[in-house]
Structure 1
Amino acid sequence: MKTIDRLDGKSPIVEAYRSIRTNIEYANLDKKLKVILVTSTQQNEGKSTITANLAISFSSLQDKKILLIDGDLRNPSLHRIFELSNSKGMMDVLKGDKTLDKVIYHLQKGKLDLLTTGIMPPNPGEVLVTDRMKSFIEQMREDYDYIFIDSPPVGIVSDASVLSQLSDGVVFVISSGEVEMDFAKLAKEKLMNVDAKILGAVLNKYESHNSDYGYYYGEYYGQKKKKKLSKKNIFKRKKRLKIKKA
């Protein structure tokens, strides 16, 4: 899967993530927003890819150190996005088997660090509510300017609600045309019931007919363009990613 650091800097998708980054920065004018949780209603909405790309986008900021954590202890995927091993990770640190420097991956010339889950525990929900987990996140706050946590979908398990209590804000990913509106509203209510601060929603997989936005599916996923597309097909293959107030 191609991340935005492998795309041209002028690519519309890169610009889209810059726009999301700017929105988050403006939400952080009081300097209290450091730990950001990303979740969705259900699986396969592109949540993990968006989390990874947001972290990459923030890592381009001057004098900012970013940590990306895979908080999905049930179905981790960040290691696959970056084509890395998940044989070690956060669980090793929480159990006291390894120190952080032995399990963390340094990406983007040291400006972006990735912490995978490691071996998945049999009781992920119980791990997240431990004092050790809370202390670990607090320790990371001291070492990083921004921390992005990829969590399980809030509409499926309670993990995202638990993790939101350790976070300063939540980005809610919604897959256009794939999620029932009532289901998405219910997922949002679950977050609001635990007083999670929802920063906004990222509308993913949105097909736009506006040529100023969107991009070719083939370009983003690394497929080669074999011929010039007709105007009709261009409309079909465009996609837009934006953030709006929840």
Structure 2
Amino acid sequence: MNDQTPRRYRGSLIERAAAANQFAPAPTPPTDQPVPPLPVSRAEPLAPPLVQDQREPLPPLQVEPERTPPLVEPDAPVLRRGTAADPVPPAPPHPDYAPEPGSGRRFAPIDRQALVEGGMLVPGGTITSLAEEFRMVKRQLLLTARAVAAADTVKAADRARMILVCSAQPNEGKTFCAINLALSMAAEKDVEILLVDADFAKPDVLERLGLPQGPGLLDALAGAVDDVEACIVDTDVPQLSVLPAGTKTTSDTELLASDRARAILDGLAQANPRRIVIFDSPPALAASPAAVLALHVGQVLLVVRADRTSESDLREAVSTLDGCEHIQLVLNSVSFQPGGRRFGTYYGETGK
């Protein structure tokens, strides 16, 4: 028979444990009321710092604005013709190429860095397309000089070794070609080169080579200097010397047309049978000395700039310089065309 007597409630396990240990449990809230949230308070520091920080606060960090580096450093050489920066070969020792004692000539080294910055040939440098081009130009001039020397009189043969580098108008590259032609010819074994700055209105040869100014051709023509050879500046490039333009004057054309000028200019070639005289002339259509100088030389190298010289200027310049029988043209500033002939790269190739 089932016991239907109701059992006495003895309490929950927690309540009985609390009674056995003599502490009262927290009352259980009714389930139908929400549990109140616990109070939240900011944490207090457990203890003040043992040592006060006596250091001064650091100043705010200064951040400089970002700067974009320049494309070319200020002191970096500006290269031209798209060539790479080859190391500049050192100049040879000065005493090896100094003039003989008692000659009365001055001596000055050529600034190789100035040649690099000007995009010109550097003596002892690597063989480039520019070097190969001037090799071809000088070869034609040397062949013409030899042909004239074999066929004509001795006086005509001496003048064949006198070359006038000219252009129709300014800024067509005549001085650039004159200097490079002189540097290229100086590498020949059987000649000596005298580069004459005959652009009397705007002489620029000495500045481009880094040589000091001094008395020159105009001083000799005017009688201020007795011997023009004493005005020549020997350089540290073997077989290359330079004759400055000299003191400027308004009568340069008249001085060139004088009998004294003919004797002095002819004497430059006659003084040394190995000497080739290269004149850097003013433009033929911009100054009158070019036409007078053409009467004294045996060859004219007329620089034609491909993107500037017009056909009419070229024809007029040739007519102005017709005092010289042998006039040859050189085309300057030609744009590169893919697939065309390129000199200079052959020497960098290795054969198999």
Q: Same fold (TM over 0.5)?
A: yes
CA distance in 1: counterparts of 2:341 and 2:195, whole angstroms: 31
CA distance in 1: counterparts of 2:341 and 2:236, whole angstroms: 29
Partner of 1:131: 259
Partner of 1:94: 221
CA distance in 2: counterparts of 1:177 and 1:123, whole angstroms: 33
Mapping 1:1-246, distance limit 5 Å: 1-6=118-123, 8-30=125-147, 31=149, 32=157, 33-98=160-225, 99-144=227-272, 145-192=275-322, 194=323, 196-209=324-337, 210=339, 212-213=341-342
After superposition, the CA RMSD in angstroms is: 2.0
Q: Greater strand percent: which structure? A: 1
Larger radius of gyration: 2
CA contact (8 A) 1:207 1:214 kept: no
CA contact (8 A) 1:49 1:81 kept: no
- Amino acid paired to 1:114: V
CA distance in 1: counterparts of 2:123 and 2:269, whole angstroms: 28
- Amino acid paired to 1:205: S
CA distance in 2: counterparts of 1:48 and 1:14, whole angstroms: 16
Describe the SS at the equivalent of 1:156. Answer: coil
Describe the SS at the equivalent of 1:28. Answer: helix
CA contact (8 A) 2:163 2:279 kept: yes
CA contact (8 A) 1:42 1:156 kept: yes
CA distance in 1: counterparts of 2:320 and 2:292, whole angstroms: 11
CA contact (8 A) 2:300 2:327 kept: yes
More relative contact order, 1 or 2 (CA 8 Å, 6+ apart): 1
What is the Cα deviation at residue 117 of structure 1?
Answer: 0.6
CA distance in 2: counterparts of 1:42 and 1:10, whole angstroms: 30
Q: Greater helix percent: which structure? A: 1
Describe the SS at the equivalent of 1:4. Answer: coil
What fraction of aligned residue pairs are identical, expressed as a percent? Answer: 23
What is the Cα deviation at residue 107 of structure 1?
Answer: 2.1
TM-score, with length taken from structure 2: 0.57
TM-score, with length taken from structure 1: 0.80
1:125-169, CA deviations, whole angstroms, 9 ceiling, x for partnerless residues? 111111111111111112242111111111122211110110001
Residue segments in structure 2 that go unaligned for 5+ positions in a row: 1-117, 150-156, 345-352
Describe the SS at the equivalent of 2:169. Answer: coil
Residue segments in structure 1 that go unaligned for 5+ positions in a row: 216-246
Describe the SS at the equivalent of 1:37. Answer: strand
